[in-house]
């Protein structure tokens, strides 16, 4: 069976975790936490990077920093993971869902302005599959209406928009290192702060509402409870695991991109014949090969293809369900928006196996099976 995902180990993870254990500093913000944060700040020119226990927690920190109050509105794409919305819901926000683009699952930046009201506070562009949203348009409308932008870059490590690293453009950004991502630590995340207004408070929120980080740097002679916050700081062993991955970032990315290209070349003829749609990469975006997906012509076709692949030893999976059609949203909101492109991706998008150790011959098996499936359907 060819799995959908297999976490890749560089070989140094356990070694660094062992080192972390024997430093006697396990609770976080030790040597490896600082190494990871410095890597992101130097490699991608993020103003401030803070390791978090998950991307969800990083988004929750962002929602606190945005000073979300009950009744504030936050614009979020409906085709995304629930955390993109939930982090703001927990602060009392009303979520306003936006549709996807017609040719890719990202938020349609041209439709954002029509959703803005006097209560709008934040826009949350989600870089689906690591492919950049149209950030110039997002930032222009945010500046026009004095809104904050939180990039959900969960899938977007080492991807760029017009030469700028994703996560460096919005006021804040969040990344994921879940085991399904390019760079992993099992569970884990990162909050990026690009606006200096939020740096000091971010550290306080990160440290359970205390100014403990300032105390450890010798900036205050004692620390105490000064703000809201929570236990967002991951253990040192999580950062140690992640650092082994970061040391091999280029190697991991090169292999994933090679896999992505083999899929694309192998399946392009099916797109040319109108059977499927393959990922669309706008000119302004790079490809970090987070995933490879195809878009089927109907829900029935996707369901049948998933079964066909599974019956032949290949695990493929669909992705998000439309959040605006979720039970929670319907129970708490009276008006359900019509978002046809979002719903199309929810019904028709199919993700193929994608992981570092996927062999060339396994990629060929997947491609050949999909080819056979569509030949059998005429």
Catalytic positions, written as ranges = 181
Residue with tokens 């938020």: 107
CA torsion sign for 318, 124, 204, 41 is: positive
Cα 236 from Cα 178, distance rounded (Å) = 16
Query: Any idea what the Cα angle at residue 192 is, between residues 44 and 77, rounded to 5°?
Result: 105
Cα separation, 79 vs 39, whole angstroms: 31
Half-sphere exposure of residue 172: CA atoms within 13 angstroms, side-chain side: 26
Q: What are phi and psi of 35, to 5 degrees?
A: -65, -45
CA-CA distance, 121 to 143, in Å (whole number)? Answer: 11
d(CA 250, CA 73) in angstroms, rounded, equals: 39
* Closest by Cα among 145, 191, 153 to 41: 191
DSSP at 277:
B
Provide the 3-class DSSP secondary structure of residue 231: strand
DSSP element (H, E) containing 330: helix 327-332
Angle, CA of 340, 343 and 349, to the nearest 5°: 125
Enter the DSSP assignment of 268.
Answer: H
Which residue in 324, 318, 293 sits closest to 129, CA to CA? 293
Distance CA 35, CA 376 (A): 53
- Do strands 293-295 and 189-193 pair parallel, antiparallel, or not at all (unpaired)? unpaired
The DSSP symbol for 124 reads -
Residues β-bridged to residue 295: 277, 349
Taking the C-alpha atoms of residue 258 and residue 46, their distance in angstroms, rounded to an integer, is: 28
């Amino acid at each position: 069976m060819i799995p959908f995902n297999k976490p890749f180990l560089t070989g140094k993870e356990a070694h660094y975790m062992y080192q972390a254990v024997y430093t006697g500093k396990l609770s976080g913000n030790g040597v490896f936490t600082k190494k990871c944060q410095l890597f992101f700040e130097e490699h991608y020119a993020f103003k401030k990077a803070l390791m978090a226990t998950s991307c969800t927690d990083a988004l929750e920190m962002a929602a606190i920093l945005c000073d979300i109050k009950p009744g504030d509105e936050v614009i979020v794409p409906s085709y995304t993971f629930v955390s993109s919305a939930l982090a703001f819901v927990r602060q009392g926000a009303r979520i306003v869902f936006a549709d996807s683009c017609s040719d890719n699952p990202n938020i349609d930046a041209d439709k954002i302005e029509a959703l803005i009201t006097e209560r709008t506070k934040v826009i949350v562009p989600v870089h689906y599959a690591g492919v950049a949203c149209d950030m110039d348009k997002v930032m222009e409308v945010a500046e026009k209406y004095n809104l904050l932008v939180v990039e959900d870059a969960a899938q977007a490590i080492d991807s760029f928009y017009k030469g700028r690293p994703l996560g460096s453009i919005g006021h804040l950004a969040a990344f994921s290192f879940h085991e399904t991502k390019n760079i992993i630590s099992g569970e884990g995340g990162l909050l990026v702060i690009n606006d200096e207004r939020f740096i000091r408070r971010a550290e306080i929120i990160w440290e359970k509402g205390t100014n403990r980080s300032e105390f450890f740097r010798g900036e205050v002679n004692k620390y105490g409870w000064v703000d809201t916050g929570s236990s967002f700081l991951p253990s040192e062993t999580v950062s140690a695991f992640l650092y082994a991955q970061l040391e091999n970032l280029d190697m991991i990315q090169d292999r994933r991109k090679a896999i992505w290209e083999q899929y694309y070349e192998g399946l392009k003829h099916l797109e040319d014949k109108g059977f499927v749609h393959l990922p669309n990469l706008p000119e302004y975006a790079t490809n970090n090969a987070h995933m490879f997906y195809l878009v089927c012509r109907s829900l029935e076709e996707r369901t049948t293809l998933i079964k066909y692949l599974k019956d032949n030893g290949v695990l493929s999976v669909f992705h998000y369900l439309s959040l605006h059609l979720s039970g929670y949203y319907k129970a708490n909101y009276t008006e359900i928006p019509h978002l046809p492109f979002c719903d199309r991706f929810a019904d028709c998008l199919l993700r193929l196996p994608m992981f570092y150790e996927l062999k060339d011959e396994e990629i060929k098996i997947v491609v050949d099976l999909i080819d056979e499936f569509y030949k059998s359907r005429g």
